[in-house]
Amino acid sequence: MLEGQIIIHVDMDAFYASVEMRDNKTLIDKPLIIGSMPNERGVVSTCNYEARKYGIRSGMNIKEAFNRCPKGVFMHPNFDKYIRVSNQLHEILESYTDRAEYIALDEGYLDLTGKVNSWEEARKIGHEIKKRVREELSLTCSVGLAYSKIAAKTASEEKKPDGYFEIPSREDFVTLVLDRNVKSLYTVGEKTAQKLHLYGVDTVRDLQNKSNEVKMFMGKQGEYLVDLAFGFDDRKVTPYREEDTKSISKEFTFQKDVSSFKLLDDVLFILSFRVAKRAKRLGLYGEGVSLKITYSNMKTITRSMLISASTSDAYTIYENASKLLKNVSKGEVRLVGTGLYHLREEEGRQLSFADIFSTQKDMLKEKIQSKWQEMSMYYKIDFDEIKDMQNSIKVYDYIERMREVMDSMQKYNS
């Protein structure tokens, strides 16, 4: 049996655009830009490789993209379609291991440690994944096989699109990245790179040479970055579990058990603002939303779902938590909670509708206002005092008032 980790990183090539080209052959070989339309306020979500030749990239203002490529094909994203294809991809990947960690709809790590007896076996699986993705999904992916997560991610980027690359050892990794920009270390975003630049660190070699200074000024983060520069990365592939995956969550325990799922839904709306407030304060976005329910018999269940694009938006958290709530068993409930998981910083995250379209942001604001008004009318409570979510105790006092109102209505109607 091999020693050390054996990790595969799978990354779909220009995922959204590739799905659209697969489903509409007339788009092939044309610059395809997924996002808002040129006459709308918004940005690019993603684009195909043909469009990238014009310098178009994710997050670019849509009008700049149009100026660069006025003959390009502009389309709105179809997130429901992309989620369906992502689920099909996950079925393929999970046929090789039970340790899969998805960091986006189109990207994930597979831990083959203990699943294979040789590097050649792992290589065979890597090529087989590419073959199955092509045959079963009519799409292409890039695959990296390596000894660690950062090396596997680096390997999958090395020969894009439709590439395959291996980094068998720490020495191979260091040789490959030594004279590259420090941002080639895939945990280093723009802000961290700017901070390192202040210390005269532009390349991975600089990071090695100035390791003591970086550790001194950046503390534990600096120690971690220096380890990566020398190829040390012992992070594990971690399938999502509510109890052991980093997340931001808020929950509420009722003074009396509740049976009204209307009330639970409304409480999730309020808790979503608490989650969003913390996420924004930390500068983090979640790739998935979770729901937690504890029934009166103390049975606790958790449900979770990956979402179309990372978010720190309260209403998006609420909408997805509400969907999860609709699919759990009815009963007397003592605790309800929601949260974000698979957290990441701004750099490299998938864009949401609200990121792409200015009008979508306005629609979300209207939905939020409408929901507050509906709750105010239903419970006969003015929620203005807690909308900023500054005082958690006051927020929870309001939730108890809502429960008491619901109790009174249920007694009256019984």
The catalytic residues are 107
The span from the CA of 325 to the CA of 15, in Å, is 30
The span from the CA of 155 to the CA of 149, in Å, is 10
Phi, psi dihedrals of residue 262, rounded to the nearest 5°: -65, -45
Tokens 């520069």: give the residue.
229
Give the residue from 16, 13, 82, 10 showing the smallest Cα distance to 45.
Answer: 16
Residue 62 and residue 30 in contact, taking contact as beta carbons nearer than 8 Å? no
**Mind giving me the DSSP string for 229-247?**
HTT---PPP----TTTS-E
Beta bridge partners of 104: 107
Give the residue from 376, 353, 373 showing the smallest Cα distance to 363.
Answer: 353
The span from the CA of 11 to the CA of 154, in Å, is 11
Residue 144 DSSP SS3: strand
**Mind giving me the DSSP string for 340-380?**
EEEEE-STTPPPPHHHHBHHHHHHHHHHHHHHHHHHHHHHT
Query: Max CA-CA distance within the chain?
Result: 75
Q: How many residues does the chain have?
A: 414
**Mind giving me the DSSP string for 53-93?**
TTT--TT-BHHHHHHH-TTSEEE---HHHHHHHHHHHHHHH
